[in-house]
Structure 1
Amino acid sequence: MADTTVRTATVDDARAISIVQVETWRSAYADLMPEALLRRMDVDRNAERRAETWAERHRDPRVVDLVAERGGDVVGWACVGPTDQDDLPGHGQLFAIYALAATWSSGVGHALVQEAEQRLRDGGFDRACLYVLDGNDRAAGFYERHGWREDGHTWIDERFGYGGVLVPLLERRRIRDLGEAL
């Protein structure tokens, strides 16, 4: 098994991050989302949009994108920062964490979540939240093993669609006390 290195991402990583996001969605969500929606995801458009909005998204120094590398190749990505959840003032949020399917269960996700939690602590957060797509049992189990517990809150994400049809996604919130040892 190759060593995993996690580092702060830069705008130059936009394309590699987009590849990880698109490929992971297609693998992890194949049974949870319409195939047409996953097929419409476009690495080039995603990378272009990500690069264009990079500076604005990172105005707050607590917003950090991380990439996991193996052998110099980006194989995972995570993003953290302050949450915008009204009922969780002062909390951080793990907005995204993805690893290429070929690296699942090999330590990439573990390395990313550990560094993401440390970056949240470094940003002054004692507690954080994240959202998991309903039915994504693999991710739910991963987070559970890392101390993230469901708090009963759900959210309907209405940002996705295809062919003019909105695809609402039910997501379940998890909370983690970042000072709690595992």
Structure 2
Amino acid sequence: MSLFRETSDVSVRPAVPGDERAIATIQVDAWRRAHGELLGGALDVLDLDAMRSQWATAVSTPPAGHRVLVACEGATVVGFASIAPVRATDPAGAPGGLLLALEVDPAHQQAGHGSRLLAACVDLLREDGADQLQTWVLDGDAARAQFLSGAGLGPDDTVRELASGTLPDGTTRTVREHRWWAAI
């Protein structure tokens, strides 16, 4: 009997050029699993090459204050997060941070990768002087709401509607998101 417990080689690191392929694939796979029914055909027309190109730019030449992190299991990228600064609403207040994206490959969910990514994002935002974190949650995404609630975030009653494609009758399909936030 071994006295040592088996542990996984898990980590979070800044994304590097070459990670964009895994990031785009994880994003689409996670969206299909979490939002396939709600977003329907909109997910079927995503341009993966364009997404990879956008992620490559975000990784290699991000705007000021923007960061992309990846969660790894061994050398394999299994999740990612992206953050950006948010200006303080009060001129004397500290800036905040916006969690633009946080996705984990569906085959690697429930293994702590999302929590590690979120913690790393909060650490970076604090280093930049941020005092709060915001993100948006799609209506009906109970798993994300549960995850964020467990991490101390909560909705603040701010809602936005986004176009998510065109319905067969030509009308625009919209989805609603609620802003969640927490002091950090």
Category of TM-score, reference length = shorter chain? 0.7 to 0.9
1:59 maps to which of 58, 63, 67: 63
Partner of 1:75: 78
Post-superposition offset of 1:92: 1.1
The answer on 1:43 being equivalent to 2:35 is no
Partner of 2:32: 26
CA contact (8 A) 1:4 1:107 kept: no
Distance 1:116 1:30 in 2: 27
Distance 1:22 1:165, change over 3 A: farther
1:112 maps to which of 94, 114, 117: 117
Which protein is bigger by CA-based radius of gyration? 2
The answer on 1:171 being equivalent to 2:180 is no
Aligned pairs, how many?
Answer: 174
1:141 maps to which of 140, 146, 150: 146
Distance 1:70 1:174 in 2: 28
CA contact (8 A) 1:129 1:174 kept: yes
Distance 1:3 1:166, change over 3 A: farther
Distance 1:84 1:135, change over 3 A: farther
CA contact (8 A) 1:98 1:109 kept: yes
Partner of 1:161: 165
Q: TM-score, normalised by structure 2?
A: 0.84
Distance 1:161 1:16, change over 3 A: same
Post-superposition offset of 1:150: 0.7
Shift >4 Å, 4+ stretches: 52-56, 84-89, 162-165
Distance 1:21 1:71, change over 3 A: same
| Secondary structure, counterpart of 1:16 in structure 2 | helix
Distance 1:86 1:41, change over 3 A: farther
Post-superposition offset of 1:2: 2.7
Instruction: Report sequence identity in percent.
Output: 29
Distance 1:101 1:151 in 2: 28
**What is the root-mean-square deviation of aligned Cα atoms in Å?**
2.4
Partner of 1:102: 107
Structure 2 unaligned runs (5+)? 1-6
Distance 2:70 2:103 in 1: 9
CA contact (8 A) 2:58 2:68 kept: no
Q: Which residue identity is paired with 1:69?
A: C
Post-superposition offset of 1:12: 2.3
| Secondary structure, counterpart of 2:101 in structure 1 | strand
Structure 1 unaligned runs (5+)? none
